Amino acid sequence: MPNIQIHEVGPRDGLQMEEVTVPTEVKIRWIDMLIASGVDIIQIGSFVHPKYVPQMADTDTLFRHYNRPENKPDGVVLSGLVLNERGFERGMACGVDMFCMGVSASETHSMKNTRMTTDEALERILNIARQTREAGKQVQLSVQSAFGCGYEGTIGKERVLRIVRAYLDAGFSNISLADTAGHANPDQVRDLFESVRELSADAELTSHFHNTYGMAIANCYAAMQSGVTTLESSLAGLGGCPFTSVAGGNVCTEDLVHMLQRMGQRQDIRLDALIGSARECARFFERDLPGMVYKTGPIGEQSA
C-alpha cells in the first residue's frame, strides 16, 4: 500500500451541519491543534452563501488569518471548497492553497446542492478549475454521490466514470470520489477505484467516505488497497452533507490515524493532538461525538 496522506475536512464538512455556531477564535484553536498534529491538508472552510450554510460565514476570515506571515503554517496545505465563480474569486482573494470543487453523479443531489444539473455543473466546474490552474493553485476535482444517493439509490458506475473522463480529458489528475450518502461498501470501493485507475494509471486518487451506515473505515482500507493515496476525514467523526436525505458523519480522523499507525504507517502524525482536538469538540458541543479513540484512548494507553 502507498503511504497515505490525511486531508482533514473537519473545519468544513465536520461543522457545516452543526446548529450551534462555532466562534472564529474557537475554530482557530482547533485548526492550530490539527496543524500541530502533522496532518497533510486541512480544509478550513467553504465559500458558500452564509444564508445557506451559516457555519461557514467566517471562511474568508480564517484564510486571511492563516495567510499572515506570523500564522502561516509550514508543511500543511490549506484547502477550501468552492461551488461557483464567486467562491473562486473569494478564495483567490484570501489565499487558498488548494481549491476543491466537484460535480454530483446524482441529478437529484446536484439540483439540491447547486441548483444545476450534473452536465451544467460539470461545464461550470471545469471552467473554474481551468482558471484555478492558470492562477498557479492546486486543484482537486471530486465526484460526489459516487457510490450511491439517498434520493436516487444506486448510481451506475458509468455515470461516475463519465465525469472522471471529463476531468482527465481536461488535464486534471487529482481526483476524489466521495461517498456523500454513506452507501459504499468495500467491494464497490475497490471496483470503482480500480476502474478509475484503468482510465489513468497516473491519477492522484482521494477518497471521501461518510459513516452513515458504519462502513467508512472499512471503505478506507479498501480504497488504500486500490491505490488511493489520500483519505479525507473529520476530527471526532463530525460531519454530513446538508443536501442529502440521511446525513452521517465523516470517517473519524483520529480513529483512521490510529488504524494506520497500528499498521505501521504515519507514525509522524501526533495522535495525541488529534485526540485533544476531538475532546475539545465534544466539550464545546456538550455531547458524545461519533469518534471512538478520543473516548477509549489508543491501544496501549490504558496499560502505560
Q: How far apart are CA 185 and CA 300, in angstroms?
A: 30
Strand partners, 206: 176, 230
Start-end of H helices in the chain = 24-37, 59-66, 85-94, 107-114, 118-134, 157-169, 186-199, 216-225, 253-262, 271-285, 293-296
Q: Are 83 and 47 in contact, with CB atoms under 8 Å apart?
A: yes
Strand partners, 218: none
Least Cα distance to 49 among 90, 14, 21 occurs for 90
The active-site residue, picked from 94, 220, 241, 252, is 241
Identify the burial level of 204 via C-beta atoms within 10 angstroms of its C-beta, where 0-12 means exposed, 13-18 middle and 19 or more buried: middle
Cell numbers representing residue 35 in the block: 496543524
252 part of the active site: no
Catalytic residue list:
241
